[in-house]
Structure 1
Amino acid sequence: MGRLEGKVALVSGAGSGFGESIAHAFVKEGANVLISDIAVDGGKRVEADIASKAYPGGGSGVFVEHNVTKREDWEKALELAKSKFGKLDIVVNNAGTTYKKQPSMRVTEEDFDRIVNVNCKSIFMSVSVVMPYFVERKQGVYLNTSSVAGARTRPGQVFYGGTKGFLNTVTQGLAAEYGPEGIRVNSICPLRGATGLLEMFSGTADTPEERERFAKSVPLGRMSEPQDIANAAVYLASDEASFVSGVNLPIDGGRLAV
């Protein structure tokens, strides 16, 4: 029996990167997953890939086109979960974005507005639409993809780190506010990983030499991988973590410790 057997989850930004890996891991553990993404091609690719795996005892994956900054898209996604699977148990707010690493005074207003909308406003929309449903059911799990930058913001990504600091604070506040309603809220804080945003975070080309250089700054000697994040997500979303809430969990190979 899978660790998420019988659960229904929505994973935003599931068309690539960390979200894709989380979606696969959830389905493998028995969950039915809404593969939420604004990128239609990526979302449909993940849907087809999950179907082709036919995980033994696993759940299923269904793509939903979803702009996480739009209330109507959240409403549509919640209704799809209820109509297709009968409920929604877990929301993984994984969709996020950044800008290319650069001095903060050179960040454009367009870039700033985008990261605030995608990284911050999306959380507000998620809570506004789904939290009343969770409160009505007296249960539910929120899992947010934050970043180690939310705890230690480094030069060149200051405003991005600020959005993740916002997310860490909101995670703790929501956990305190809605814990009495039976709802758990946690975040995962990954280190820079091998995703489509890697070059944006590094500000340079993704080369073996650049990966090796960065890995040397990590006590465990490597970058994060999407599977590292998925493993943590499965635990925090599962009943094994039934007494874990308000946690911003670094998945960083010990880098915050140095």
Structure 2
Amino acid sequence: MQARVAIVTGGADGFGAAISDRFRQEGYQVIIIDIDRKKGELKASSGSNLNFLLGDVTRKETWNEALALARAKFGRLDVVVNNAGITGSQSPVHTKDMEEYERTFKINVRPIFCSAQCLVPFMMEQGHGVFVNITSTGCTRPRPGFAFYNSSKAAVSVATKTMALEYAPTIRFNCIAPAVGNTSMLKASIGSGPDSLDRLQKIEDLLPMKRVTQPVDIANAVWYLATDQSSFVTGTTLEVDGGRGV
């Protein structure tokens, strides 16, 4: 049987690395798209069915290259996971500059548009496909200081729901909303000094489950939404947040 194929953006680190590993372990051919060559090549070296594509997911050219790779090497494309994104600095709106605002929407929202534009026609012709887009609990439980991060992730959620209606029943579109995750972005936020554990404890205390989201939590949720286990699920946002959104 021909192996199924998944594209994972930001697949070299954090949530993306765990998602890539889950698909690899399940026998998928995985195309990791990442802008970090060193991390991408290192990740791809960890499994024979991991394939690295250096690229910027805000550019349609990158998505066209990914589709060309999937078609030429594997003859199919089954799953797209739009995981790459940024948080930005925590500060009130009046202190932010236009560059940060535009960069946040460019990196968090534009890939949703570009991936659909480039890949949906192929999936429609193929007769099936799944998109899983990573959003945030910031959509429904916004934290102060992240107004436009929260807004960008809300745009991802609404676009995903709309495309679920546009392309049903052939292609399914769903979102996953993590809480704060144990990734390099969190580590950069809390630092590595003597007070970092105290800062982490304060974050964990805000979550009913008293821990941050682990990459494997997101990988397991993506696997569910990407496979036939969720064949009747489309247009939804699955909260993987330890109760943060309640």
TM (norm. structure 1) is 0.91
Mapped pair 1:113 → 2:99: no
Provide the rounded CA distance (Å) in 1 between the counterparts of 2:157 and 2:105.
14
| Contact in 2 for aligned 1:32/1:61 (Cα 8 Å) | yes
Q: Percent identity?
A: 38
The size of the alignment, in residue pairs, is: 243
2:86 corresponds to = 97
2:182 corresponds to = 194
| Contact in 2 for aligned 1:100/1:199 (Cα 8 Å) | no
Which of 150, 156, 162 is the equivalent residue of 1:167? Answer: 156
CA deviation string 1:111-170 (max 9, x = no partner): 111111111111110111001111112210000011111222110011000000001101
Provide the rounded CA distance (Å) in 2 between the counterparts of 1:91 and 1:171.
12
Mapped pair 1:28 → 2:47: no
1:251 corresponds to = 240
Provide the rounded CA distance (Å) in 1 between the counterparts of 2:175 and 2:147.
20
- Structure 1 residue 199, shift from structure 2 partner: 5.1
Cα RMSD, aligned residues only: 1.5
| Contact in 2 for aligned 1:139/1:183 (Cα 8 Å) | yes
1:54 corresponds to = none
| Contact in 2 for aligned 1:11/1:94 (Cα 8 Å) | yes
Q: Which amino acid aligns with 2:182?
A: A
Which of 194, 205, 214 is the equivalent residue of 2:191? Answer: 205
1:126 corresponds to = 115
Mapped pair 1:16 → 2:2: no
2:37 corresponds to = 40
CA deviation string 1:158-202 (max 9, x = no partner): 10000000011011101111013x1100011000111111156x5
Matching of residues 31-110 of structure 1 within 5 Å: 31-51=28-48, 60-110=49-99
Q: Secondary structure at the match of 1:122?
A: helix
Q: Secondary structure at the match of 2:168?
A: helix
Q: Which amino acid aligns with 1:248?
A: T
Mapped pair 1:183 → 2:180: no
Provide the rounded CA distance (Å) in 2 between the counterparts of 1:148 and 1:66.
27
Provide the rounded CA distance (Å) in 2 between the counterparts of 1:98 and 1:212.
20
| Contact in 2 for aligned 1:66/1:77 (Cα 8 Å) | no
1:216 corresponds to = 205
- Structure 1 residue 248, shift from structure 2 partner: 0.7
Provide the rounded CA distance (Å) in 2 between the counterparts of 1:205 and 1:87.
42
CA deviation string 1:202-222 (max 9, x = no partner): 5x4352211111111111110
Provide the rounded CA distance (Å) in 2 between the counterparts of 1:50 and 1:150.
35
Provide the rounded CA distance (Å) in 1 between the counterparts of 2:199 and 2:178.
18
Provide the rounded CA distance (Å) in 2 between the counterparts of 1:13 and 1:136.
27
TM (norm. structure 2) is 0.95
Mapped pair 1:150 → 2:139: yes
Provide the rounded CA distance (Å) in 2 between the counterparts of 1:66 and 1:239.
29
1:237 corresponds to = 226
Q: Which amino acid aligns with 2:10?
A: G
Structure 1 residue runs of 4 or more that deviate by more than 3 Å after TM superposition: none
